[in-house]
């Protein structure tokens, strides 16, 4: 079959390689012109044709990301068109992956849900999890992969020799339809994609739930999910009183599937820096985990949980309290609230900025305004990607932490709030 795969920037090259390995004639079209330099250092030749121009021939199949603007493929001719998500789903069916797969999407809380769920399930299972924080196998980092759907294939390739019991994939803008469990965290703060021609929430729902996928969804999304799934299909919900899982006060309430109200239970929540930031993540993770392990095992794993890396994680570094909230979803608008809460732990040194790799940047003016307001209260400030008089300039997150450790002493607090992929 003659196949065109658009957009090598967002893991299209992985999809192209998989099709080529299956014997197809594949052309990968680098619409953002980012691949030439990266591929020039390869020791082995590409298994597909790489071009920056749209070929004039007709293809049997064209594979196009759901967020790609129409102008990038207006001249592409094909007998059939599918998205990257749908292509990965078809390729997974061909691979006949037998491992339990959990796919997680939503507008917020995806990474928190994935890493919290992995932490819980690792009490019994070997777990591979890919998020914007990277690919991990049983807490050991394997690689830095994006959450583009094509990297589902790469994550499996990198870990299949270890035969994990469970794969957990955070995926942007939907799922592959091949998961055992499809988790929809939330559709709050929806946004437009494809040059503002589509709603992100529509894309996420469309491909997450395959015929054999059990939906695990926030109850506020239930009506929209029901419109996309078969009538009468069992759905696990979380987030509101009466759902399978919900948090009220400092307790998590749950009920086992197909059990009576009398068999509802409660469990304690972990001591976190910002419990509210973990509410959706913990609810979604526990709602999914209840299908796979016992409640008492879940509670035992949650008891000592201190949060996921870069997600309001609280830990100690050389006698300092490090509050780590450096992640791809960091926002300038939340900086003031984080500083207010951080100063309860002691004198604060701030690490802030952006590394330039995340598509949506920080609100620079809001960042600067907040820093100016707090400057006299802080031990110091190290900035990445931003410039402001009276602050230190750091090259990256490690350099910023080095500066912070030099300018603080044991007992002080370091707040790390950088918009970056971790």
Query: Would you kindly state where each structural domain of the chain is located, as residue ranges?
Result: 2-79, 91-303, 313-419
* Of the candidates 16, 22, 13, the residue with the CA atom closest to the CA atom of residue 3: 16
CATH topology for 313-419 is: 3.90.190
pLDDT over 90 at 130, yes or no = yes
Q: What is the pLDDT of residue 276?
A: 86
H-assigned helices in 234-303: 275-289, 295-303
Q: What is the pLDDT of residue 301?
A: 95
Tell me the per-residue pLDDT of 385-407, one tens digit each, with 9 for 90 and over.
999 999 999 999 999 999 999 99
Q: What is the pLDDT of residue 40?
A: 43
Task: Report, as an integer, the average pLDDT of 74-89.
Answer: 97
Instruction: Output 143 or 277, whichever has higher pLDDT.
Output: 143
Topology alike, domains 2-79 and 91-303: no
Strands 313-317 and 320-324 come out as antiparallel
Q: What is the pLDDT of residue 309?
A: 80
| Architecture of domain 2-79 in this structure | 3-Layer(aba) Sandwich (3.40)
Q: What is the pLDDT of residue 339?
A: 97
Mean pLDDT for all residues in the chain? 92
* Of the candidates 369, 117, 120, the residue with the CA atom closest to the CA atom of residue 131: 117
Q: What does each C-alpha distance from 259 to 20, 65, 182, 416 come to in angstroms?
A: 48, 41, 22, 44
What is the rounded CA–CA span in Å between residue 306 and residue 304? 6
Tokens of 178: 């091949």
What is the rounded CA–CA span in Å between residue 97 and residue 337? 44
Q: What is the pLDDT of residue 5?
A: 97
CATH 3.40.1190.10 applies to domain 91-303: yes
- What does the chain come to in residues? 422
Q: Number of helices (H) and strands (E) in the chain: give both, helices first.
A: 12, 26
Strands 198-199 and 192-193 come out as antiparallel
pTM equals: 0.84
Sorting pLDDT into bands at 50, 70 and 90, what band is 258?
low
What is the rounded CA–CA span in Å between residue 144 and residue 17? 19
Tell me the per-residue pLDDT of 32-76, one tens digit each, with 9 for 90 and over.
988 755 554 445 668 999 999 999 999 999 999 999 999 999 999
């Amino acid at each position: 079959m003659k196949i065109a795969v658009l957009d090598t920037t967002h893991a299209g090259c992985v999809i192209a390689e998989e099709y080529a390995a299956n014997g197809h004639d594949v052309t990968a079209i680098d619409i953002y012109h980012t691949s030439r330099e990266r591929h020039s250092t390869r020791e082995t030749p590409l298994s597909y044709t790489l071009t920056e121009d749209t070929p004039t021939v007709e293809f049997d199949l064209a594979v196009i990301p759901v967020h790609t603007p129409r102008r990038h493929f207006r001249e592409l001719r094909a007998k059939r068109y599918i998205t990257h998500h749908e292509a990965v789903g078809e390729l997974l069916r061909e691979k006949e992956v037998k491992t339990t797969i959990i796919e997680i999407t939503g507008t917020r809380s995806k990474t928190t849900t994935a890493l919290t769920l992995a932490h819980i399930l690792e009490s019994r299972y070997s777990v591979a999890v890919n998020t914007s924080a990277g690919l991990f196998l049983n807490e050991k980092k394997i690689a830095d992969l994006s959450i583009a759907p094509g990297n589902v294939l790469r994550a499996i390739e990198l870990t299949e020799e270890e035969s994990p019991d469970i794969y957990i994939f955070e995926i942007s803008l939907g799922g592959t339809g091949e998961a055992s469990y499809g988790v929809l965290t939330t559709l709050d703060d929806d946004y437009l994609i494809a040059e503002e021609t589509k709603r992100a929430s529509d894309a996420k729902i469309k491909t997450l739930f395959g015929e054999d996928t059990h939906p695990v969804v926030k109850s506020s999304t239930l009506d929209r999910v029901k419109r996309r799934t078969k009538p009468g299909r069992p759905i696990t919900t979380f987030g509101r009183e009466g759902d399978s899982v919900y948090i009220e006060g400092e307790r998590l309430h749950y009920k086992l599937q197909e059990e009576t109200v009398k068999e509802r239970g409660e469990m304690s929540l972990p001591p976190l820096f910002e419990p509210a930031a973990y509410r959706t993540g913990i609810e979604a993770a526990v709602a999914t985990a209840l299908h796979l392990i016992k409640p008492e095992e879940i509670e035992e794993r949650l008891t000592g949980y201190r949060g996921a890396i870069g997600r309001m994680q609280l830990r100690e570094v050389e006698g300092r309290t490090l509050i780590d909230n450096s992640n791809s979803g960091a926002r300038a608008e939340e900086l003031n609230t984080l500083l207010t809460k951080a100063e309860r732990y002691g004198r604060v040194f701030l690490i802030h900025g952006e590394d330039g790799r995340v598509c949506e940047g920080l609100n620079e003016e809001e960042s600067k305004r907040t820093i100016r307001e707090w400057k006299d209260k802080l031990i110091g400030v190290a900035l990445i990607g931003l410039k402001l008089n009276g602050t230190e300039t750091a090259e990256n997150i490690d350099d910023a932490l080095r500066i912070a450790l030099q300018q603080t002493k044991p007992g002080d607090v370091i707040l790390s709030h950088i918009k970056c992929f971790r």
